[in-house]
Amino acid sequence: MRIALIAPEFLPNWGGVGTYCIELARFLTARSDIELHVVAPLRRFGPVEYSESKISAYFQNRIHLHLLGTAGETFLYNSGFQLRVWRHLPRIIREHHIDIVHSQHAHMPDILFKLRSASHHVPTVATVHSTVKNQYDGIKATGQSWAEMESSEKYELLLYPMLRTAEAFYLRRSDALICVSRWTLDHLPGKGAIDRSITQVINNGVDTKRFRPREPSDRELPLSKVSDPIVLYTSRFTAARGAHLLARAAPMILKSTKEVHFAFVGGGDHELLRSILRRLNVPPDKYTIVGYVEHDEMPSLYRCAYAYAMPTSWENMPFKLLEAMGSGLPVVTTNVGGIPEVVRDGYNGLLISREEKSVSEAILRLLEDRGLAKRLGENARSTVVDNFSWGTTTEKTMRVYEQLLASRMKS
């Protein structure tokens, strides 16, 4: 089976869609019955430099890589990538006899291709990582000022009506939809116009061999010089994802205990986050802004942490949360989107409201009660191992491919 995986985010990894494409590619290429073609832009940002050969080597040269243009930021590049997919995907399909195109929403990288896809007779499946309204509501829920918004958040607000119209067309023209959570399925736009028989829930997964609890044999972990318990945040430095909220909760936590250290890992505006911490008089020795970390280095960061915090305003099935849980960390996160499908309050994590007081109280509970933190972390690990492994996610995705091909043969 020949699959064209359209990856608007790939290596170096930037966010959840990138994690999905990277891990799905790793697990699909481990199979002997798959020939995988990855269509992606070459992303350039920060100190990380990737070439075509470096990306191929990451996958042990098991993927066929088609790089279409470059990406240097997180929003505007996508329109250029959509145009390049429209131009080049028909050729890739024809020359390599592609059986299925697997794309990602809400990037909609193949939306222009769908305008002409009727002539190519290749079924398309889209994984719905989020919806346009989901993202819009999440940004608005933060109450942040225009000046505090990341550029991608500003574009999403400004272009919201146009993006919603494009989304409705895109979802209707997909032959199958994979929703990463039950919540995502229930909140698909225009559900009445979408054939429910072509939609199903396949949760995101975690490689539980890589994302595991710390062991005595682990050496030279990052942040090893920090002696206080580390509360870890790993996502983009935006208000919607919760970085700013955790920063504002830090002074409240430090009033009750000095034995804590906050570590912020991710891409985005480092200086804006730093300015918030400075304005709140958070001592510099009580936080570390790590910034961007390569995908393969993430497991060791989780292993050096005591607890994980993600006070996000919206998420469907966040990889970073699953990775933290798979690493055996007690998690503090908000009761939004698909998160309650993973986290049961008091069993494998603490669900909170999106308020500074709620964030600080939950983190203090974990810092003051190590027995609770240990129990939540152990249950978090068991939850992910039993229900959210990449092996299961890959097998279910393969069944979608097989059903699409069988349906196409019948017609």
Specify whether 235 is located in the same domain as 120.
Answer: no
> Is residue 150 pLDDT above 90, yes or no?
no
Are 17 and 128 members of one domain? Answer: yes
Q: Classify residue 182 by burial, with Cβ atoms within 10 Å: 0-12, 13-18, 19+.
A: middle
pLDDT at 146: 83
Task: Give residue 267's pLDDT band: very low, low, confident or very high (50, 70, 90).
Answer: confident
For residues 383 and 395, membership in a common domain is answered with: no
For range 150-174, the mean pLDDT? 90
| Position 194 confidence tier, pLDDT thresholds 50, 70, 90 | low
Beta bridge partners of 39: 6, 66
Q: Is residue 354 situated within a structural domain?
A: yes
Tell me which of 259 and 70 has the higher pLDDT: 259
- pLDDT tens digits, one per residue of 325-359: 999 999 999 999 999 999 999 999 999 999 999 99
Asked whether residue 190 carries a pLDDT value surpassing 80, the answer given is no
Q: How far apart are CA 207 and CA 390, in angstroms?
A: 6
> Looking at the structure, do residues 401 and 338 belong to the same domain, yes or no?
no
206 near 384, Cβ under 8 Å? yes
Share of residues in the chain with pLDDT > 90 (%):
75
Does residue 119 register a pLDDT over 60? Answer: no
**Pair 192, 303 in one domain:** no
| Per-residue pLDDT band at 143 (split at 50, 70, 90) | confident
Identify the residue with better confidence: 189 or 41: 41
- When pLDDT is averaged across residues 300-315 and rounded to a whole number, the result is 95
Do 180 and 328 belong together in one domain? no
Residues 200 and 178 in one domain: yes
Residue 151 has pLDDT above 70, yes or no: yes
Residues 6+ apart with CB under 8 A from 251: 280, 281, 282
> Is 10 contained in some domain?
yes
Q: Which pLDDT tens digit goes with each residue over 60-115?
A: 999 999 999 988 777 888 899 999 999 999 999 999 999 999 999 999 999 999 88
> In the sheet where 124-128 sits, what is the strand order?
63-71, 35-43, 2-6, 100-105, 124-128, 176-179, 199-201
Give the pLDDT confidence score for residue 363 in this predicted structure: 98
Q: For every residue of 233-283, which 3-state class applies, written as one string? A: EECCECCCCCHHHHHHHHHHHHHHCCCCEEEEECCECHHHHHHHHHHCCCC
Same domain, 37 and 141: yes
The 3-state secondary structure of 64-131 reads EEEEEEEECCCCCHHHHHHHHHHHHHHHHHHHHCCCEEEEEECCCCCHHHHHHHHHCCCCEEEEECCC
Confidence grade of residue 411 (pLDDT, cut at 50, 70, 90): low
Confidence (pLDDT) at 352:
97
Residues 343 and 405 in one domain: no
| 269 pLDDT tier (thresholds 50, 70, 90) | confident
Arithmetic mean of pLDDT, 157-169: 92
Is residue 396 one of the residues assigned to a domain? yes
**pTM, 2 dp:** 0.93
Helix axes 151-158, 160-172, angle to 10 degrees: 80
The answer to whether residue 410 scores a pLDDT higher than 80 is: no
Q: Are residues 176 and 308 in the same domain?
A: no
Average predicted confidence (pLDDT) for the chain: 92
Categorize the per-residue pLDDT at 117 as very low, low, confident or very high, splitting at 50, 70 and 90.
low
Question: Distances from the Cα of 42 to the Cαs of 45, 49, 205, 240, in angstroms?
Answer: 10, 9, 25, 26
d(CA 307, CA 249): 15
pLDDT at 18 over 80: yes
Structural domain for 11, as ranges: 2-205+389-410
pLDDT at position 270 is 87
pLDDT digits (tens, 9 = 90+) for 201-217: 999 999 999 999 998 88
State the Cα–Cα distance between residues 179 and 17, nearest whole angstrom. Answer: 13
Mean pLDDT of 238-250: 91
Tally of domains in the chain:
2
For residue 12, whether the previous peptide bond is cis, meaning omega lies within 30 degrees of 0, is yes
Query: How much is the pLDDT for 43?
Result: 85
pLDDT in tens, 379-394: 999 999 999 999 999 9
**Structure confidence by residue, pLDDT tens digits, 352-380:** 999 999 999 999 999 999 999 999 999 99
Any domain includes 340: yes
Give the pLDDT of residue 303.
Answer: 95
Give the pLDDT mean for 391-405: 95
73 shares its domain with 164? yes
Q: What is the CATH number of the domain that holds 303?
A: 3.40.50.2000
Q: What percent of the chain has pLDDT over 70?
A: 96
pLDDT at 196: 67
Span 147-167, mean pLDDT? 88
Helix pair angle (356-368, 243-256), 10° resolution: 50
Asked whether residue 223 is assigned to any structural domain, the reply reads no
